[in-house]
Amino acid sequence: MNSTLPERDVVLVGAGHTNAHVLRMWRMAPIPNVRLTCVSNFSRATYSGMLPGTLHGDYAPDEMQIDLVRLCAASGARLILGSAVGLDRERRELLLADRPPLPFDVLSIGVGSVPVTDGVEQLDGRMTLPIKPMQTFLQRLGQRLAAIRQQVRERPVEVAVVGAGAGGIEIALGIVERLRRTSDDGQFRVSLVDRHDEIGRGLSRRATSLARKELEAQRVNLLLGQEVRAVADGKIKLAGGHESPADIVLWATSARPPEFLAQLGLPIDERGFLLTRPTLQTVADLPVFVVGDSGTSREHPTPKAGVYAVRQGPVLWDNLQRQLRGEPLVEYVPQRSFLKLLNTGRGRAILSWKGFAFHGAWCFRLKDRIDRRFMDKYQDYRPHAMAPPEPNGDEQAPMRCAGCGGKLGGAVLHRMLKRLEIPASEHVLLGLESLDDAAILRPPGGRSIVATADFFTAFIDDPYLVGRVAALNAASDLFAMGAKPLAALALATIPPGPARQQEQLLFELLSGSLRELRQMGATLIGGHTLEGSPVTVGFSMLADAGVHPPRTKAGLRPGDQLVLTKPLGSGVLLAAHMQARCRAEWMDALWPVLLASNQQAADLAAEHDIIGVTDVTGFGLAGHLLEMLHASQVAAELSLADVPLLPGVEQLITEGVESTLAPANRAAEAEIEAAEEIKARAAYRALFDPQTSGGLLLGVPEGAVDAVLRRLADSGHAARRIGTVLTRAPDRRPLTIVPSISNLRSQI
């Protein structure tokens, strides 16, 4: 992150071809004083041109995907995974589902299109599989085909593709090849359905003829001039009363706008797409660009095709810079015709250019070369050598004061607090509604108060999510002891910058934190801020100790079974993310773990006489377990094979990636007994990985371990039994690592 906050914000909604070009260019030449944010429903973007080839087996699925997590990390851009739901035109904010609005100075909307379903009276979601979103198409297709194969054994599997444009033709031929390659008995039938009398609208007559010939050669059943009225009961019901059997229906019709576009309140065309000027800006008087399928040029309307989105990329990049500089914008003039290439499988393709068309291996080689060259540009995730420019350009920033002069301005804090929704609490006698410098709490029924403090440096450029994790991480110590959080004092370091940017950053941090505090029954009663870099956030928390004795690290007993409630590896993955090496699928698996509260697991511990509990955080599993063993004066054996790890952790450790705290944590090896073969494993090194928002480590009585694991699984925890507690032997190290559960000693 930069040491000062930016002056302005450019926000991309969607990561289609045009917006992806901006991300790529930002990696090479970020704009000074500006932050780039990409808002996407998915952590990957799919290149549609390679989907048919992936069905044919020409490409691995990863080859058609742009990893937005890595691309944004390499580019220094912020990635927000979430859904945009509207636009506040007056405040110039993008409205997001389930999180605060996102301010922008310039916005680019490129959310694509979805298949048309007009005129279809009934659409059985169990049978119908839209091609979009393409990011999940292969997964959905695989799941549906697997389910069908379990149901259909005595007859051919019936697959229908609705929509016989160029894309539908490619999908039909691709699904034939996929079924041929993966079907055990080879029994299947593929139909191509379209309401028009001819296939391949937009292709030349010669190209259409070549495509029809190939479809017939692959025994694709053509149902043309047939409008689909319903998809239900294992059939496609067509206009005129005709029916065709179908186990799965792939929907690849022409484009219609996604519902999101109608929620923006911007001018639209007759089909609902956003109207734009030739400069790609909305015709409304706003700094909003609309690109790809999402927009329709008022002066130069074009069909909805990916080639136009690709060609718009350089124009958008130029105009974003011009908009920020206050310069006249340039116009995008679409080409009148373009080369069309259809993958027909088995290393061949159809080439269509104006009135000419060819079908053969050389056409596929050309398409393959074009597609791979395009993807090579977007799958280069190396951080660029040029460091992102700091805000303030060439101007020398004034020296910032220290001491009490290093706080955020009072106006910033007052405006931010007015925006927060702070829950009331019966225990707070004097809180943030007062201008006093300290809060007053009423002790809960004369019981003890438990206090803790925790804070960290922001690990990702998403203040809202960082705030959520910070609250969960701070409360974890309280949950481990069996205490109920009551109140929190926030501690935050905010970089220097424009007051509105400081306010927004702090607002997002505390909004995320309040979401979690509210869920655990606590409230915010105050805090303190400083100007500085990098961003840090944390909490001092107060909790009700309850009526039962506190659970402590000294509560382990010989015979207890060690249960870990979350997988390890957050430290390695976050270190990899800083180097743009954490893959999207790994980050997708990490976030649910970071955002999972330990409160349920802690409540469960109280029900099963579990008195030895700690949370696994900065010192890693080995370090925190050793703390428990010393406090309890016992020993333990740990089954390495049963320690759960997050996806990607072993690979990254093998490649040499680790957290900067891991070497210090390995000082604990002096108290660990393990064979050299075990020490060489990546899983062993993961025992020293510092965890952010890690799970609980429970000492569960042996008779209760099965019930506890079932209850944890039912509540969504990936908990595992990882070892057993033993009587301490004076001549042995307290912790022994063995290969698997079967190697654990039965005696205690």
pLDDT (average), residues 9-38: 96
Which residues are designated catalytic?
404
Predicted local confidence at residue 194, as pLDDT: 94
The DSSP symbol for 90 reads T
If pLDDT is split at 50, 70 and 90, which confidence band does 385 have? low
Q: Where are the extended beta strands (E) located within 533-584?
A: 536-544, 561-564
If pLDDT is split at 50, 70 and 90, which confidence band does 431 have? low
Predicted local confidence at residue 32, as pLDDT: 95
Rounded Cα gap, residues 108 and 114, in angstroms: 19
The residues with which 160 forms a beta bridge, in sequence order, are 191, 249
If pLDDT is split at 50, 70 and 90, which confidence band does 118 have? confident
Residue 398 has pLDDT above 80, yes or no: no
Instruction: List, for residues 505-550, the tens digit of each pLDDT value.
Output: 999 999 999 999 999 999 999 999 999 999 999 999 999 988 888 8
Pairing relation of β-strands 8-13 and 34-40?
parallel
If pLDDT is split at 50, 70 and 90, which confidence band does 434 have? low
Pairing relation of β-strands 735-738 and 672-673?
parallel
φ, ψ for residue 511, nearest 5 deg? -65, -45
Rounded Cα gap, residues 541 and 513, in angstroms: 12
- High-pLDDT (> 70) share of the chain, %: 94
Residue 412 has pLDDT above 80, yes or no: no
pLDDT (average), residues 598-623: 94
CA separation (Å) from 440 to 401, 425, 427, 516, 517? 31, 12, 9, 22, 18
What is the set of domains in the chain, with CATH numbers? 8-113+257-337+352-378 (3.50.50.60), 122-254 (3.50.50.60), 403-544 (3.30.1330.10), 553-743 (3.90.650.10)
Instruction: List, for residues 451-495, the tens digit of each pLDDT value.
Output: 998 999 999 999 999 999 999 999 999 999 999 999 999 999 999
Instruction: List, for residues 180-238, the tens digit of each pLDDT value.
Output: 988 877 789 999 999 999 999 889 999 999 999 999 999 999 999 989 999 998 899 99
- The least confident of 253-262, 360-369, 617-626 is 253-262
Predicted local confidence at residue 748, as pLDDT: 42
Predicted local confidence at residue 747, as pLDDT: 42
Instruction: List, for residues 549-594, the tens digit of each pLDDT value.
Output: 888 899 999 999 999 999 999 999 999 999 999 999 999 999 999 9
Predicted local confidence at residue 401, as pLDDT: 57
- Calculate the average pLDDT of the chain: 91
pLDDT (average), residues 98-117: 93
Residue 609 has pLDDT above 90, yes or no: no
Predicted local confidence at residue 2, as pLDDT: 59
